[in-house]
Amino acid sequence: MGKSKNMTKSDAARIQSSTAKNHGGNTPKNSFASRAQSAADKSSNSKK
């Protein structure tokens, strides 16, 4: 398996935007998009 990368806020925003477009403007709870946002927040906080 390849080297994993940290999720960035722009990655999460792109994923969340796409998910919202497919769900009438909403991001379902516990969706991949919401988990991506959480991962991006954790990644961002760990770099401070």
Structural domain count of the chain: 1
* pLDDT value at residue 1: 61
Q: What 8-state DSSP symbol labels residue 46?
A: H
* pLDDT value at residue 10: 95
The model's pLDDT over 1-48, given as tens digits with 9 standing for 90+, comes to 667 788 999 999 999 999 999 999 998 989 999 999 999 999 888 766
Q: What does pTM read for this prediction?
A: 0.76
* pLDDT value at residue 46: 77
SS3 1: coil
Q: Which domain holds residue 23?
A: 9-46
* pLDDT value at residue 24: 94
Q: What CA–CA distance (Å, rounded) separates 41 from 21? A: 22
> 37 lies in a domain?
yes
> 19 lies in a domain?
yes
> 42 lies in a domain?
yes
* pLDDT value at residue 48: 61
Report the number of secondary-structure helices (H) and strands (E) in the chain. Answer: 2, 0
Residue carrying structure tokens 């946002």? 37
